[in-house]
Structure 1
Amino acid sequence: MTSRVPEDVVWMRSSTSAGDDAVEIARLPDGGAALRRANDPDCEPHVYTAAEWDAFVKGVDAGEFDLPE
C-alpha cells in the first residue's frame, strides 16, 4: 500500500498522552486525516477522507462513542 500522507505533515498528539503510548493525528491537505501509533512512527498510517473524518468527529461530539457507566 502506498501512503497518501505527504512527508511534511505535522503529527500531533494529545497533551494528556502518556509517553509513546499514544495515537498521533495529522491533518491532510485535502481535509482528511491520518492516524498512527506514536511508538511506531514508521508504520503505515490509517488514512481517512475529509467526509469520513467529519463523520467521526461529529459522532465523538454527539457522544456516540462514550462508554457506558
Structure 2
Amino acid sequence: MQSTSPGYSPSWFKSSHSGGNTTECVEAARLGEATAIRDSKAVDRGSLLFRPTSWAHFVSALQDGRLGS
C-alpha cells in the first residue's frame, strides 16, 4: 500500500455517483490495495479506508439498496 506519511498526497477524484448538486460530493482515492473515501466539504475530518473485499461489499450494498439513504 502507498504511504500515508506526511508529504504524501493521494490523488482524490470525485465519485461519478455524487449528485449534480455541489453539496453532495464524495471523493475517492486508490491507495495501492485500499480505497479511501471522504466528504469533499470536510476533508479535514479524515477519510474511511476500505480493503478490496470490504469495498466490494460496500458498493454492492449501495447498488442493491441495502443501505439507507
TM-score by length of 1: 0.61
1:35 maps onto 2:32 in alignment: no
1:20 positional shift:
4.0
Q: 2:25 aligns with which of 13, 19, 22?
A: 22
The answer to which of 46-55 and 14-23 deviates more is: 14-23
Answer 1 or 2: which has greater helix percent. 2
Relative to its length, the structure with more strand (as a share) is 2
Displacement, 1:56? 0.8
Deviations 1:40-69 (A, max 9, x none): 2233211111111011112223232266xx
**Percent of paired sites with the same residue:** 23
How many residue pairs match? The answer is: 64
Matches of residues 25-64 of structure 1 in structure 2 within 5 Å? Answer: 25-30=28-33, 32-64=34-66
- Structure 1 portions without partners, runs of 5+: none
The 1:53–1:18 alpha-carbon spacing in structure 2 relative to 1, beyond 3 Å, is: same
CA–CA distance in 1 between the matches of 2:49 and 2:13?
13
- Report the TM-score, using the length of structure 2 for normalisation: 0.61
Structure 2: runs of 5+ lacking an equivalent: none
